[in-house]
Structure 1
Amino acid sequence: MPSVKSSRNRTLTVSPQEKEFLRSKILYPSNLSKISWKDSIICADLLKTLDLLPNHFADLIIVDPPYNLTKNFHGVHFQNRSNADYARFVQTWLPKVCTKLKPSGSLYMCGDWGSTAVLQTELEKELTVLNRITWQREKGRGALTNWKNSMEDIWFAVKDPNHYYFDVDSVKIKRKVIAPYREDGQPKDWQAESQGNFRLTCPSNFWDDITVPFWSMPENTPHPTQKPEKLYAKLILASSRPGEVVFDPFLGSGTSSVVAKKLGRHFCGVEINEEYCFYAAKRLEQAQEDCSIQGYQNGVFWERNTLNCQKKEKSAPKKQKELF
């Protein structure tokens, strides 16, 4: 007997009827000769697609490649391999991906502890690495014979270290003030609000305010390595202007494209797995009516679990909207 999904489980599903509709929103190999990169989901092999995309078209590239782990991506298997073999895998696509970046563009590349050294080494051959962001992905029960893996890296690189866009004001974090200091009786670098005392702070390269998507969140999909919308919102706001282009060569379930659309950017993503393309296409349809990003409101990023209005969601969430 098939299991019944809890009423609070908001994980995205796509019906067979919806798939028929969503196929019209996806580019397939049969029409890649007429490729239009702007606001496109391309369901194809990346290595066969890169040459069809124009060089220097992307203002920002976000790369979330398969890590050096054995994973089943809905029937597409990736096998753990030696560091040398993993480096050769990265070399098959990274140089061409970097040619798609504008001269003033930025690139962010995700990795875990087992792949990050290789990714840094290969990235430094193509671009100038400016920083490594480490973010806390507090999820999972842990390990009995090793330290729990709860951190991932994002390498920040540019083509020209003397000419690139970065907007720190757009990615400040709203933090609770535990010991509010006053000067002449007035708050010093903080504000008193009805919800408490808060301070806007510049972000560091360690992010501990990210929530990994889980089953009760509307952005959650069945993709096994989905990135949070809040995580990508920081990258997109900091390193692109409204109306610019965000390219993702490993689109997955579409987080980069969805967040780009919500934040007023154009997008282009390549994903080999059709099921994940359906997830991305449906999320993009839903983003036409709901541009909210959990943990980000009124131009401000909040610390994890501190945005009161998001704690007060109705106990019975709205049913996922049908597409027709």
Structure 2
Amino acid sequence: MEEKKRAGRNRTITLTDTEKQTLKNRLITITEANTVVEPAVPEPGRRSETTTVLDKTINADLLTALPYLPNEFADLIIIDPPYNLRKNFNGKVFTARDEESYEEYLMSWFPQVCRKLKPTGSLYMCGDWKCTAALQRAMESELTVLNRITWQREKGRGAKANWKNGMEDIWFGVKDPDNYYFDVEAVKQKRRVIAPYREDGKPKDWEESEEGNFRLTCPSNFWDDISVPFWSMPENTDHPTQKPEKLYAKLILASSRPGDVIFDPFLGSGTASVVAKKLGRHWCGIELNEEYCMLAEKRLELAETDKDIQGYSDGVFWERNSAALYKK
């Protein structure tokens, strides 16, 4: 990755040559992954082969790596695949294609990824407006779709002859709509009360404090409280499509329990693994680019001592630009 000139206050995570030597040794390559086999029913007292890939970053092509991962080992899968547009991922260019070809690309790996999901598991897949219809069809071919989340991405280029693209989608599906995990209490949002209502002079469904009036609200499928990583945030990397830790924290807290396994087949710079670690889950990620894998490992190392997730504190999610309140 080409070295950039950065301002003194820039907090973007980078790698030194010395760090690369150390971090590279932590990666599982496809040669090492050959030791991973489909688990038989483990004998009493024996560990399942699933433990071989737990808390690991696998540096390999997705289709090459998938056969070496145990089926039905993941409680939650989060997928952020290349969108149907031209994007340079540290020298590997993904090129936009017609919708039929993009859908064929999705189906070349999506059914195999779904086989890694437990019967009671959940799966989220990210996309933008251009590819969201193809994502829906892919999801419906293997899972029961329960919802589509739309989140406001405030960053983005303006457009002179079109509307600025400020939204992205996340499709939510499960294997068994009658048996899956969802914890709405874990993902409530603390919002300011603009017009507080009182009953017998006391706050109704909200609380008064020195910082202001707030209400805990159940989350909807529209999220307007997400900040995309940028240079002054300690989670930021040079990955061109890095997802915010706060975004993935919502998915992980809602659809997994502590100790569950989170799998990301397009790991990028490691957001899914890092957030899983910060929230007490196991993780496994596959990423083709070696440098992105090493960034993921560095972020996992930093998470040993820094469990903070911007916008999440005291068990609730806060509105954007509320740090001055929850960091008191």
Q: Same fold by TM (over 0.5)?
A: yes
1:258 and 2:277 are equivalent in the alignment: no
**Runs of 4+ in structure 1 over 3 Å off:** 309-312
Secondary structure of the corresponding residue to residue 34 of structure 2? helix
Looking at structure 1, the residues matched to 233 and 177 of structure 2 have their Cα atoms a distance apart, in angstroms, of: 38
Counterpart of 2:9 in structure 1 is 8
Q: Which of 137, 140, 156 is the aligned partner of 2:172?
A: 156
> Aligned to 2:158, which of 142, 145, 156?
142
Q: Which residue of 2 aligns with 1:30?
A: 31
Q: Tell me by how many angstroms 1:306 deviates.
A: 1.7
The answer to whether the 8 A contact 1:135-1:207 is kept is yes
Partner SS state of residue 138, structure 1: coil
Instruction: Give the residue type in structure 2 aligned to 1:134.
Output: T
- Report how far residue 307 of structure 1 moved: 2.8
The aligned counterpart of 1:320 is none
Report the alpha carbon displacement of residue 23 of structure 1 after superposing the two structures with TM.
Answer: 1.1
Gaps of 5+ in 1: 313-324
1:273 aligned residue: 289
Deviations 1:152-180 (A, max 9, x none): 00000000000000000000000000111
- Whether 1:188 aligns to 2:189 is no
Distance 2:241 2:305 in 1: 26
**Within-5 A mapping of 1:1-324:** 4-35=5-36, 36-309=52-325
- Equivalent residues of 2:58, 2:287 under 8 A apart: yes
| CA–CA separation in structure 2 for the residues paired with 1:141 and 1:80 | 18
Shift of 1:4: 4.0
Query: Can you give the 5+ residue segments of structure 2 that lack an aligned partner in the other structure?
Result: 37-51
Deviation track 1:79-121 (CA, whole Å, cap 9, x = no partner) reads 0000010011001100000000000000000000011100101
Q: Distance in 2 between matches of 1:136 and 1:26?
A: 34
Q: CA deviation at 1:34?
A: 2.2
**How far did residue 3 of structure 1 move?**
6.2
In 2, Cα distance between equivalents of 1:129 and 1:177: 33
Change (3 A) 1:145 1:99: same
TM-score by length of 1: 0.94
Q: Is the 8 A contact 1:106 1:157 kept in 2?
A: yes
Give the structure-2-normalised TM-score. 0.93
Change (3 A) 1:144 1:218: same
Instruction: Decide whether the 8 Å contact of 1:69 with 1:79 is kept in 2.
Output: yes
Calculate the aligned-residue CA RMSD, in Å.
1.2
Matches of 1:47 and 1:275, distance apart in 2: 19
Give 3-state SS (helix, strand or coil) of 2:106's partner: helix
Partners of 2:73 and 2:117 within 8 A in 1: yes
* Identical amino acids, percent of aligned pairs: 67
Check whether the contact 2:211–2:325 (CA below 8 A) recurs between aligned residues.
no
Question: 1-side partners of 2:87 and 2:141: how far apart?
Answer: 27
